[in-house]
Amino acid sequence: MQKGYSRQGELPKRWENIRRNWYKFSRNSLSIIGLVVVCIIVFVAIFAPYISPHPESAGKFINFYEASQYPSLVHLCGTDVFGRDVLTRIFFGYRFSLMMGIVVLSLVVPVGVVLGLIAGYYRDSWLDIVIMRITDIFVAVPPLILALAVCSVLTPGIFYAMMAVSLMWWPWYTRMVYGVASSLKGEFFVQAAEVTGASRTHILFREILPNCIAPIFTKMSLDMGWVILIGASLSFVGLGAQPPTADLGSMVADGSKYLPDQWWIAVFPAFAIMLIVLAFNLLGDGIRDMLGAEGE
């Protein structure tokens, strides 16, 4: 694979490329913090069953002896009304958050990007018009409302929540790639490829796409944070993971009933949401600095 193949046709050494990118990324210490925190969270999420202090708390579990305890050394974030350890549930909750981000982006990015490439390349043809008008329709509604609509007519659950968010997310990638692709269409290197008889697939994926990679990548890193945020909002109203599964948004919703006395039940999950979104934001900013592109 010719990684690092730039438009002018140079072939810099792969290692030098990585080192240079790392230098650009690491100049802002906030980006490093973001990267570190994201790594920690990913680690925690993957190994949650093994490293959480009270793994039984993650599912159906009732222990009224320990219910509603203040944060203490045993339960760092306290326990909820059922006696479940809040910290453990946060760890498990991160699993869902990350899963939502990964699943949604894995669906949305290929579909959105491909549509954008096609619409941009076949600019001013019926393909372009159809694709972009459909995109416009999806964009016309405030995003969360569409997700809500889809989500609520289906059985509440994390799977449908992911579908709903995906449905409202793909247009943004299409639009972005459309902008890049249609402006590149008139460039010489594309024309050169056409003239030498390259197939459409080749042109789209080997010529135009590499130029979109930087903004796509930046947007993806920033989007992880946003998707998680939206997922939390949906869970808050009960449309995400169902009880007794641990999910950050629903934990905040449950916990808000017990404010202000047992504040820790809602506050720690809330901070947990903020932390993961912040981390991905910082990471995304760092990637934007590194790739030098406009992601959002």
Q: Which residues here bind other proteins, judged by CB under 8 A?
A: 27, 133-134, 136-138, 140-146, 148-155, 225, 229, 232-233, 236-237, 249, 252-253, 256, 259-260, 263, 266, 270, 273-274, 277-278, 281
**Both tokens assigned to 113:** 């990007």
CB of 95 to other proteins, least distance (A): 19
Q: What are φ and ψ of residue 59, in 5° steps?
A: -115, -140
CB of 277 to other proteins, least distance (A): 4
CB closer to other proteins out of 44 and 270: 270
Tell me if 132 sits within 8 A of 170, measured CB to CB.
no
Nearest-angstrom CA–CA distance, 264 and 70: 7
- Residue 164: closest CA among 100, 98, 225: 100
Tell me if 236 sits within 8 A of 252, measured CB to CB.
yes
Query: What's 206's DSSP letter?
Result: I
CB of 166 to other proteins, least distance (A): 14
CB closer to other proteins out of 66 and 247: 247
CB of 114 to other proteins, least distance (A): 21
CB closer to other proteins out of 205 and 263: 263
CB of 21 to other proteins, least distance (A): 16
CB of 225 to other proteins, least distance (A): 7
CB closer to other proteins out of 134 and 198: 134
CA 131 to chain centre: 24
Nearest-angstrom CA–CA distance, 163 and 155: 12
Site of tokens 């694979």? 1
CB closer to other proteins out of 212 and 279: 279
CB closer to other proteins out of 10 and 261: 261
Site of tokens 């990679």? 213
C-alpha distances in Å from residue 131, one per residue of 7, 108, 113, 186: 28, 15, 12, 20
